[in-house]
Structure 1
Amino acid sequence: MRNFKNCILIITFLLIPIFAIGGVMYFNDFSLKLIAKELLFNSAILVFIILFTNLINQKILKNIVSLILLIPFYSILFIKIFTLLNFFNFIDNAVLYTVFETNYNEAKGFFNSYSKWYHVLIAVMYIFTLTILIFKVESGIKLKRTYYIEVIALICVAISYRFYERSLSLLVFNTYLEYKTFSAEISKDISKRTSKYFTNVTNNDEEALYVVIIGESTTRNNMGIYGYYRDTNPNLNKIKNELHLFKNVISPHIQTILSLDKILSMGDYQHPESNKLGTIIQLANQAGFETYWLSNQKPIGAYESLVSLYAKASKNRFYVSNIYEDTNKYDEILLPKLKETINKKASKKMIFLHLEGSHISYHKKYPENFNFFTDEPQTQFKTEEAHQIINEYDNSIRYNDFIVSQIIETVKNANKNSYVIYFSDHGEEVFKDYEYFGHHESIGSNAMFEIPFIIWTSDRYKEKSTINFSSQLERKYNLEDFIYSFSDLSRIKFDQFQPTKSIFNTNFQFKKRIVLKDVNYDERIKEK
């Protein structure tokens, strides 16, 4: 009887975090059905573990088996609680793809940004108390009773899997296999210099210097040049009359890899599998450009990131950072390399610059002399954390303004047939509409999609250009069709070009902008 009471005590104790999860889910508008699924699944697993270990008579072996089974379970449970507390949702395929793309420094920055001291304290206290209770349990319940209850527990597990669809452990395993298969398949096509899909590719420029700047986690909502109340763009504002600011461009996703997978390729919402057909880098290669990929982001996540697979198609690649470095390098480190690249002999250059931009751990993305905003920002969220994070993010935007303006200045001084285009892979929520900072599809705020899209062109480019930028600045556009705008801007012709999908084309046609799997972005804007 005493042993049975011990088991009941432990099971009751183990259910505490499950109810905590249920509480988090309930108070964030999760359905009771979802809570019930979570409670049933985790309770059944815990009952099974306790009953199974009570079948073992040898104490040391029993304790070892208990640890082997409980450590993975509580690791997964901790991840669930962490995800729910920070993002109010479960981990899904999109998040796992991002995890597989993440290197050590990014993971550390992510954890440091989102982890709260009380999360860690609760986990440590819980595991410590759990361990003491487990090791105090004496020999098991009577054998017949154990077998009987264990059969019930197994049935509960089976039912839970049916209701729950997939456990986190299975989701991780299956998604990882899917990710590796996808990487292997896509690398066969997009890493090559050319694409068989593109036919009759031409560009008649005798000389050209075209620069594509890919930013990171930058929402136009915090940019002074787009109307933000703070002067986060002092440098770009000085040359505003030379710039074309597109005001209604959004990113297709709010995670880097999913977003760039469409921006850089032929893939879109309706045909994501078309990403294997060809990329803007391959298109530039086939048009006779010498292509360069200059990056301040690490080339390797879990083995090799998908973005680096796209970059492999470039004839020249340069990475400032590598996976083994634990030091932070500011984006200005790319500026000397840009000048060096511009001075190379090739007559037609296409340069891609991949910035760190305003990636998470905002305070690490700018040097101390750019710690400009320290006062209380305008926000509906009156917490010290919100004020600090907003200031750090705005400082990173101001530093990014310096970087982009320096790139434009460098290209301008080259006095060639040139353009510079700047956009971000996705935006960021920074205490604008939600008491939250970062980007996650479970929240999916407008700020996470609303990105800058800025064009600068040289006088020599304008001499041959037929694009009327001023009439296009209000066009609503999803950057998933960027390959067509890129080819228009770069004067690249090819058989597969669709003028209706180029924001710069007179034949442009608005198409429904779908985000978050099935949300009509423009309808949602109207509702707000």
Structure 2
Amino acid sequence: MHIRNLLYHFLFFFYFSAVYQALCFTFNVSGFVGLRESFFLSFLWFIPLLLLPSYHKIITGVIGLLLWSTSLASLGYFMMYGQEFSQSVLFIIFESNMKESSEFLHTYFAWWMVPALLFYTSMSLFLWKKLEPIKLKMAYKPFAIVFALLLVTKTFTSLYFIDNKGFEKAYDKQLSRMQAAAPWNLIVGYQKYTLQLQQMQSLLKNNQNLPKLTHFTTQYNQPNTMVLVIGESTNRNRMSLYGYKRETSPHLKKMKDELLVFDNVFSPRPYTIEVLQQALTFADEKNPDWYLDKPNLMNIMKQAGYETYWITNQQTQTKRNTMLTTFSQMADHQVYLNNNRRQNSSSYDEVVFEPFKEVLSHNEIKKKFIVVHLLGAHSRYDYRYPETFSQFNNEPVQRVLDAKQQAYYNYYDNAILYNDYVVSTLINEVKKQKRASSLLYFSDHGEEVYDDMSKIKMGRNEADPTLAMYTVPFIVYGNASWKAMHSYEHMNIYTHRLYSSSNLLYSYCDLAGIRFDGFEQKKSIFNTAYETQPVFIGDPMKKATLRDLREKPLG
């Protein structure tokens, strides 16, 4: 009876992580490590029961409630998306607001999840009712507690005391392993999130004191305007400009002969923050932290004498220094157009037009660098465009898709259609400028919206990459005055180059005629000395996950 009681306790504690980890293992989403680590971490919850046996029912109830509530995130994510609840997912959750969360649930929710979660909950209640106080002699309790602690901290103990790896490495590894189990999946993830947020806030403070780049020269000192448009969640293969069967980019197609349309550019990550940390800085897969203590594109353009602007329709929840708004805070001027706590359908990307035209009209400013950050095709797709752009709703898609999936497929194409209108309008405003003016448009990452019919998935997940998540548009426009300054026609031969947007900084500096110590011509897609670089996707903090698309392409 005593052994049975101990077993029931262990099953109760283990249950809340084991269900999720067993599903991941069964469906080949992850290996056996998560299940194994959850097993050992479950022994932790015996300690308060041994210390306070008279409060047994209350303690197990509180622990059970904690484990149940924190396990729902990973289990629910698996049920909705069929993938592992990764660190990157946690970052997205902590950067989202309630409206975005409700949009996510509306997108992925299925009726069968309710009875599944009710069954999951009822099983935990069944186990809890079976629990009785653990009866252990006082003399044995210290040994049992030490034994439980050793099992829980076995990773740290092994690395620190046996392998002499150092406290920091052992501690980090211990935390990493603990994320396999509830509630550490959220607690450790939130700790890492707040640490990165602190680093970004520190970056803002330290950025002003960074030393300037040495041997710095700029080729173009006459009045000119450079525009960088950052799109959102736009897969170039869903744009008719790139050959998509539906007419989703009619405006850009009409002006195609005036554009440099690069058709082999890939994003390094499927997440906005992580992409910008590489694209706008010197950071890359080998040095992922260089965005913290080295100059970035905004610093470089300032050093080149540009007045800098950041116009954004990304939801910012006022001007708080989130990771998303850190780079915007480095500009001389910011225009925040989506400050509501609700990221709702009323904030279409056309709201950037008026402030953009206003900045362009400031001819008294000799050199201007303008960043426009769009909402693009961010989920939910049907919130990204006005009704007048709802053109594909009744068009059939693939027969394997159900009605809801076909609807989202069509919503996404409508969002791409509207994005075409927005980007082409910005280009037309640049075209009107008498001074030399250029615009480079790229998307932070792509989006899987039932493009890969072998997987039938929607969204982004670095643990299960698809081609649609990483294929991004990359387009350059220059007006007549700008073309006179550049070998524009010569650049047309470069449009098929394989390229990662992680090297955007070098290309943009090349476009601006900027040189400095450390500038690498071979990393600029516009340079005659360009050399095809590794096109890595994956988390640079986990080297084993990196995948070079030159050697192992997607799709």
TM-score bracket for this pair, using the shorter chain length: 0.7 to 0.9
1:416-460: CA deviation from partner (whole Å, max 9, x where unpaired):
311111100111111122321111111121221110001111111
Which has the larger displacement, 283-292 or 297-306?
297-306
Name the structure 2 match of 1:166: 177
Name the structure 1 match of 2:519: 497
Percent identity over paired residues: 29
Structure 1 residue 375, shift from structure 2 partner: 3.2
5 Å-filtered alignment, 1:219-238, equals 219-238=235-254
Q: Match for 1:142: what amino acid?
A: K
SS across alignment from 1:211: strand
Structure 1 residue 305, shift from structure 2 partner: 1.9
2:266 aligned with 1:250? yes
Q: Match for 1:34: what amino acid?
A: V
Name the structure 2 match of 1:296: 313
The equivalent position to 2:276 in structure 1, one of 260, 271, 280, is: 260
The equivalent position to 2:53 in structure 1, one of 53, 56, 81, is: 56
2:470 aligned with 1:449? yes
Equivalent pair of 1:194/1:283 in contact (CA under 8 Å): no
Partners of 1:200 and 1:424 in 2: how far apart?
29
Partners of 2:28 and 2:132 in 1: how far apart?
43
Partners of 2:517 and 2:153 in 1: how far apart?
54
Which has the larger displacement, 70-79 or 415-424?
70-79
Say if 1:392 and 1:38 are closer, same or farther in 2 by CA, change over 3 A: farther
Name the structure 1 match of 2:529: 507
Name the structure 2 match of 1:37: 36
2:96 aligned with 1:79? no
Equivalent pair of 2:12/2:127 in contact (CA under 8 Å): no
Normalising by structure 2, we get a TM-score of: 0.83
1:372-419: CA deviation from partner (whole Å, max 9, x where unpaired):
112354447432232122111111111101100111112212333111
Name the structure 2 match of 1:458: 479
Name the structure 2 match of 1:478: 500
Name the structure 2 match of 1:21: 20
Partners of 1:389 and 1:45 in 2: how far apart?
44
Which has the larger displacement, 10-19 or 505-514?
10-19
SS across alignment from 2:290: helix
The equivalent position to 2:352 in structure 1, one of 309, 327, 334, is: 334
Q: Match for 1:383: what amino acid?
A: D
2:449 aligned with 1:430? yes
Q: Match for 2:480: what amino acid?
A: D
5 Å-filtered alignment, 1:236-385, equals 236-275=252-291, 276-299=293-316, 304-322=321-339, 324-325=341-342, 327-328=344-345, 329-344=347-362, 345-379=364-398, 381-385=400-404
1:305-350: CA deviation from partner (whole Å, max 9, x where unpaired):
2232211121110101125345431101111111111112323221
Partners of 1:99 and 1:188 in 2: how far apart?
26
Structure 1 residue 299, shift from structure 2 partner: 3.1
Say if 1:311 and 1:126 are closer, same or farther in 2 by CA, change over 3 A: same
Say if 1:112 and 1:67 are closer, same or farther in 2 by CA, change over 3 A: farther
Say if 1:27 and 1:369 are closer, same or farther in 2 by CA, change over 3 A: farther
Partners of 2:101 and 2:277 in 1: how far apart?
21
Partners of 2:8 and 2:56 in 1: how far apart?
18
Which has the larger displacement, 63-72 or 142-151?
142-151
Name the structure 2 match of 1:140: 133
Structure 1 residue 272, shift from structure 2 partner: 2.4
Equivalent pair of 2:25/2:31 in contact (CA under 8 Å): yes
1:93-152: CA deviation from partner (whole Å, max 9, x where unpaired):
433344443344434433443344443553355446645764x56862434399587776
SS across alignment from 1:269: coil
Name the structure 1 match of 2:89: 95
Unaligned runs of 5+ in 1: none
Structure 1 residue 251, shift from structure 2 partner: 1.2
Say if 1:231 and 1:68 are closer, same or farther in 2 by CA, change over 3 A: same
Partners of 1:268 and 1:469 in 2: how far apart?
25
Name the structure 1 match of 2:491: 469
2:544 aligned with 1:522? no
1:163-208: CA deviation from partner (whole Å, max 9, x where unpaired):
9852122632541353144224422344x39752354243534221
Say if 1:21 and 1:340 are closer, same or farther in 2 by CA, change over 3 A: same
Partners of 2:188 and 2:94 in 1: how far apart?
13
SS across alignment from 2:227: strand
Partners of 1:483 and 1:198 in 2: how far apart?
16
5 Å-filtered alignment, 1:172-211, equals 172=189, 174-176=191-193, 178-190=195-207, 192=208, 196-197=212-213, 199-211=215-227
Normalising by structure 1, we get a TM-score of: 0.87
Which has the larger displacement, 63-72 or 437-446?
63-72
Which has the larger displacement, 492-501 or 425-434?
492-501
Partners of 2:311 and 2:392 in 1: how far apart?
30
Name the structure 2 match of 1:122: 116
SS across alignment from 2:64: helix
Partners of 2:456 and 2:131 in 1: how far apart?
48
Unaligned runs of 5+ in 2: 159-172
Partners of 1:306 and 1:220 in 2: how far apart?
26
SS across alignment from 1:350: strand
